[in-house]
Chain A
Amino acid sequence: NAGVMQNPRHLVRRRGQEARLRCSPMKGHSHVYWYRQLPEEGLKFMVYLQKENIIDESGMPKERFSAEFPKEGPSILRIQQVVRGDSAAYFCASSPRTSGGNEQFFGPGTRLTVL
């Protein structure tokens, strides 16, 4: 029973390039969340998706950032024209959201470094 998978684990980009981060949720989980952790800070919510739908993107920067969770395949967090301030650890989480609690299970993260 594989957990949440993220790739790549480490990503280095130069300013102005694009970064694509992938997340495969746990089997049976249809809800995906992306969080960002800046150095010395806690995790900050970015976006919540279900298959083919963005449910809540209130934490996403208005420009350069986008996310999708297609019917087939992993969820993608895309950052266009990266800047140094985008350097952070990006975590994906998934949940079954059947009822009751809101336990989310996290992947190992992608550490993005912008040179």
Chain B
Amino acid sequence: DQQVKQNSPSLSVQEGRISILNCDYTNSMFDYFLWYKKYPAEGPTFLISISSIKDKNEDGRFTVFLNKSAKHLSLHIVPSQPGDSAVYFCAASAPGYGKLTFGQGTILTVHP
């Protein structure tokens, strides 16, 4: 029962262009969403989050969009840099539950 899905296993983008990573969820109880970045042999690093009361949150080059009616969120990275190459995970949590439910991850490769 995959409640959080990242349907694109990989994404390849040219340096300077926009990277768009997508995530869908099925559990309507989720009210908080997060994006993490992970390099090999390291732990996930928190990037950006959004509450379900908002539809957009921006932090520097990173913007997360939430479409509650479609149960869809996306992470935009503009401009993309080679150092952004990593695995990106979206995660969600429901009120009263501390645990995060993760998607399978999307491998982003940014070419110089």
Q: Which residues of A contact B (CB under 8 A)?
A: 4, 6, 31, 33, 35, 41-45, 48, 55-56, 58-59, 91, 93, 95, 97, 100-109, 111
Interchain CB contact under 8 A, B99 and A42: no
CA distance A59 to B41 in the complex (A): 23
CA distance A28 to B36 in the complex (A): 22
Q: Which residues of B contact A (CB under 8 A)?
A: 32, 34, 36, 41-46, 49, 51, 89, 91, 93, 97-105
CA distance A104 to B45 in the complex (A): 9
CA distance A24 to B100 in the complex (A): 19
A48 with B99, Cβ < 8 A, contacts A4-B43, A105-B46 known? yes
Residue of B nearest to A109 (CB): B43
Q: In angstroms, how far is the closest chain A Cβ from the Cβ of B27?
A: 13
Which residues of the other chain, B, contact A43 by a CB distance below 8 angstroms?
A: 44, 89, 91, 100, 102
Interchain CB contact under 8 A, A103 and B98: no
Which residues of the other chain, A, contact B45 by a CB distance below 8 angstroms?
A: 106
CA distance A107 to B36 in the complex (A): 13
Q: In angstroms, how far is the closest chain B Cβ from the Cβ of A56?
A: 6
A102 with B100, Cβ < 8 A, contacts A42-B89, A42-B105 known? yes
CA distance A13 to B75 in the complex (A): 39
Q: In angstroms, how far is the closest chain A Cβ from the Cβ of B75?
A: 15
CA distance A95 to B99 in the complex (A): 11
A91 with B99, Cβ < 8 A, contacts A101-B32, A102-B34, A103-B49 known? no
Tell which of A48, A59, A91, A97 touches B43, judged by Cβ atoms closer than 8 Å.
A91
Interchain CB contact under 8 A, B46 and A104: yes
Which residues of the other chain, B, contact A42 by a CB distance below 8 angstroms?
A: 89, 102-105
Q: In angstroms, how far is the closest chain A Cβ from the Cβ of B63?
A: 17
Known: A42-B104, A106-B44, A107-B43. 13 other contacts (CB 8 A): A33-B98, A33-B99, A42-B89, A42-B105, A43-B44, A55-B98, A93-B43, A101-B32, A102-B98, A104-B34, A104-B46, A105-B46, A106-B43
Tell which of A41, A56, A101, A106 touches B49, judged by Cβ atoms closer than 8 Å.
A101
CA distance A106 to B37 in the complex (A): 11
Which residues of the other chain, A, contact B93 by a CB distance below 8 angstroms?
A: 102
